[in-house]
Structure 1
Amino acid sequence: MPVVLDRPRFLALACLACIAYVGTSTTVAGAFAADRPLFLDTHVDIPSTYMVEPRFDSGTDTELQVDLGKMERGGLDAAFFIIYTGQGPRTAEGYAEAVAEADRKYSAIHKMVEIYPERIALATTPDAVVANRAAGRLSAMIGIENGYSLGRSLANVDRAFERGARYLGLTHFGHNALCTSSGAMPELGDDPDDASGLTGFGRAVVQRANRLGIMVDVSHSSDACVRDVLAFSRAPIIASHSAARALADHPRNLTDDLLRGIAEKGGVIQVVALDAYVKHDPARSEAIKALEADVARAAGADAFDHDVHGELPDYVEGLKLIDLQYPPATLDDYLDHVEHIAQVAGIDHVGLASDFDGGGGVVGWRDASETQNVVEGLRRRGFSRKDVAKITSGNLLRVWREVEAVAAELRDQ
C-alpha cells in the first residue's frame, strides 16, 4: 500500500475538522445558526427531469426529499448531487445513452445554482464549502455514481472534473468496464462469481482521478475491487454511501476489515441511511421487490424505475402497508452504524450520507428538513462537540483536501 502522506502534513490537515463550526449572521430560517456544525451529505440523487419539470424545481416546495427549502429549514448546508446512470449493456449504444443521461444531470445541477445564486452555489473545493456557509449560502457539489457514464474514455474523466465532479463512484449494480460490483447482474452477462476486482481501464481511471483531485468512491464496488483500489490509489479513498456489514449482512455494506483498510489509507466511510442497508430484514426486502414488480407490470414497464413509478398511488399505499408489517429502519438503527464504524475505523473516518431521492431515508431522518435530528442523535449518544463536527463534515473535508494535495504533488512530478 503506497504511503499517501507524511505524518506532519497529516496532523496539520487534521485541524480542518474545527472549521466545521462556522458562524454567520444570516436570517434564512435559522439554518445557519452559529451553534451547530456544518452538515455535509455526500449522496443526494436527482431525477432525470430535475430542474426541467416544474415539480422538480429545487427552489420551490417539491415532493423531493431534498430541495432548497428543506435544506434551509433542516440545516443541511452542503450536498453532493449525484450524476447517476444505471448499468446497461457495454456497447457503443449503451455508453452513448449513459453519457447523454449524465449530461442532462450536469446541466440540471448547474441550472439550479444559476437560477438561485443567492441561496446555493456550486462548490468545487473544500474552501468553497466553508466560504458558502460563512456567506449564508448552501453548497452544491457533484458526485458520479457509476463509471459507466465515462464510456471507455479517460478524456471523460477530465470532462467530468471540468464540469464540477469531485468524486467518482466506480460502479453501481452490475459489473462495468472499471471494476466488479457488489451486486452482479446476470441479465447483463455478469458472472456472480467474478472476483477480478479493478480492471486495467479501472486502474487508469483511478490514476487519472488521483492526478486531477477527484475522490475515488468505492460504494457499490465488490470487496475485491475495494481491496484493489486501496492498494492502487495514491490518495485516500471514500465510501460515499455505505454501511457496516457486521450490523446488516448485505453485500453492499463494508466488512470491518475493509472499514479498517479505508481508515488506514486516510479515507472516510459516509454511512448510508437506506433502510435495507441499515436494517437487515429479508422479508421486508422481498415484499418491496414484489411490490415494485407489481407496480411496474401494471404500468406496462419491464422494470421498476423509482423516478417514474415511485410516486404512483399503488406504490405509495403498498409501501405504507409494508411499513406496518415490517417496520423500517429508524434513526437509532442508523446511528448504530455510525457508532460501529467510529469504533472500528476511528472517529476521524466516519461521515454521513442520506441517499435521499434514491431510496434513502430512515424514521427520524426522512428528508432534509429533519437533518438536525441526526446531530441531536449523535449528541445524545455522547459524541463530543468536536467529534460531531468531524462526523457531519470535518472528516470528509479533510479527505477532500488531502486528495487535492496528492493531485498537486503528482502534477509537480
Structure 2
Amino acid sequence: MTLKLGAEHGSVPLVWDAHCCVPLLPDQDLAHLERHRKAGANFVSINVGMDFTPLAQVVRVIAGFRAWITRHSEGFILAENIDDVLLAKTTGRLSIAFDLEGSAMLQDDLAMVRLFCDLGVRQIHLAYNRDNSIAGGCHGSGSGLTALGRAVVREINAVGMMMDCSHSSKRTSLDIAELSTKPVVFSHSNARALQDHPRNIDDEQIRACAATDGVIGICGISEFLGVGGTSTANVVRHIDYVSQLVGSRHVGLGLDYVFNQQHSDLPTGLDPHDWWPPAYEYRLATGEIVTPEQLPEIAAALRARGYVQHDIEGIMGGNFLRVARTTWSETSKN
C-alpha cells in the first residue's frame, strides 16, 4: 500500500513504524493494527515483552500473536524477512515483526538470542529503563554494557536482529554504537535538546547512532515530545532537529502508540513507579500519543516544511528499511 498525499503532494512508497504496543496477552486480538494499515503503513514492529515480563508470558504472547497473524493472512503478514515487507506493500497488507524491550528474557543465555530471532523477533534493546545483568537503563545508575552485554551485542549482530538503544542509559547506547558491526537504531526516542527527559537522547547519542549509519525513530508520546504535545507539528519539530544535526538519512518514525491503554498487563505485584519514576511525570494509561492516523499528516507536513521527496520517503520508512536490509538475517537480503 502506498500512502497517498494527493497528486499535488506526491506519495510515499513505504511506511515503517518501528514500535507500537498492544496488551501482552496470548489471546490478544491484533485487529487494532488495522488502523496502521488503513493509515498507509506497510510495516509495524510490536512489543512482545519487557524486562519485567516473565519468560513464560513472553513465549505465550509470541505464540498467540503468530497464530493470530496466520489466521488473518488476508490483511497481515509475519515479516520474517525483507521480502515479506515488500510483499505486504504490493498486496495492500500490513507486515508485522516483534521486538523485545530489554534482555532479562534472555536469562543470561546467548542461545536465547537466536531462539527469539527464530520466533520472529527482529529488534531488541538491552535494558528497559532499569539496569540489568546485561546493560544499564535510562533510569538506572548510568552504567553501560557488562561483559555479558558485549557478548550479547555480538550475538545480535550475528543472528540478524536490529540492535536498538531506546530505553538504555547513555553509556550503554554509546558502548553499543562503538561495538556493533551493524547499524544501530533508537527505535522510539526523541531529541533531549528539545525535551529534557531521561528517555530522550542527547546530541552525542544521536551522532553516535548516525555514525553507524543507523536511524533515530521519533516517538509519539507526549512526555517525550514536550511543548506542543502530540501535534503533527511537534513531531516534525523533532524530525527537523535530528535531520539538521545528522541528516534526514538517519531519521524515521517509532510512534510507540499504545493500543488499549486502559488495560493493564503488568505482572501481579509489580510497582509501576519502580519502572516509570513519578519524578519524570509519566502518565501511565492516560498519556497522549501520536496516532497511526497522523502518518499521512506527518508526510504532508514534511513536504510543507520544504523536505524533498527523497528525504520524505526515507523518514517515512525507507531509512528503517535500509537498516533492516543490513541487519536482518541473510534470508532477508534477497
Instruction: Using structure 2 for the length normalisation, give the TM-score.
Output: 0.84
* Residue 201 of structure 1 pairs with residue 177 of structure 2: no
Displacement of 1:49: 2.4
Displacement of 1:115: 1.4
Displacement of 1:368: 2.1
Aligned equivalent of 1:67: 33
Q: Using the alignment, how far apart are the partners of 1:58 and 1:48 within structure 2?
A: 11
* Residue 352 of structure 1 pairs with residue 324 of structure 2: no
Residue type of the partner of 1:83? V
Displacement of 1:367: 2.6
Q: Indicate the SS of the match to 1:207.
A: helix
2:216 to 251, 269, 275: 269
Q: Indicate the SS of the match to 2:25.
A: coil
Q: Indicate the SS of the match to 1:216.
A: strand
Displacement of 1:100: 1.3
Aligned equivalent of 2:117: 161
Aligned equivalent of 2:310: 386
Q: Indicate the SS of the match to 2:149.
A: helix
Q: How many residues align?
A: 301
Residue type of the partner of 2:298? V
Aligned equivalent of 1:37: 13
Aligned equivalent of 1:84: 49
Displacement of 1:360: 10
Aligned equivalent of 1:46: 22
Residue type of the partner of 1:214? M
Amino-acid identity (%): 29
Which has the larger share of helix? 1
Does structure 2 retain, via aligned residues, the 8 Å contact 1:45–1:84? no
Residue type of the partner of 1:57? D
2:30 to 52, 58, 62: 58
2:242 to 321, 331, 341: 341
Larger Rg: 1
Residue by residue over 1:26-69, the C-alpha shift from the partner in whole angstroms, topping out at 9 and shown as x without a partner, is xxxx9xxx94331110111120226x2xxx5233xxxxxx422x
Q: Indicate the SS of the match to 2:198.
A: coil
Aligned equivalent of 2:138: 182
Q: Using the alignment, how far apart are the partners of 1:380 and 1:80 within structure 2?
A: 28
Instruction: Using structure 1 for the length normalisation, give the TM-score.
Output: 0.68
Q: Using the alignment, how far apart are the partners of 2:251 and 2:306 within structure 1?
A: 16
Q: Indicate the SS of the match to 1:241.
A: coil
1:133 to 89, 101, 104: 89
Q: What 5-or-longer segments of structure 2 have no aligned partner?
A: 262-283
Does structure 2 retain, via aligned residues, the 8 Å contact 1:274–1:361? no
Does structure 2 retain, via aligned residues, the 8 Å contact 1:275–1:361? no
Q: Indicate the SS of the match to 1:67.
A: helix
Would the alpha carbon gap of residues 361 and 72 (structure 1) be closer, same or farther in structure 2, given more than 3 Å must change?
farther
Residue type of the partner of 2:42? D
Displacement of 1:362: 9.0
Residue by residue over 1:72-128, the C-alpha shift from the partner in whole angstroms, topping out at 9 and shown as x without a partner, is 3211221001122243xxxxxxxxx62112112212320221110010001122232
Residue by residue over 1:372-409, the C-alpha shift from the partner in whole angstroms, topping out at 9 and shown as x without a partner, is 122222222111111111001111111111224xx66x
Residue by residue over 1:307-363, the C-alpha shift from the partner in whole angstroms, topping out at 9 and shown as x without a partner, is xxxxxxxxxxxxxxxxxxxx7442211210001011112111000011111779997
Q: Using the alignment, how far apart are the partners of 1:165 and 1:49 within structure 2?
A: 17
Q: Indicate the SS of the match to 2:12.
A: coil
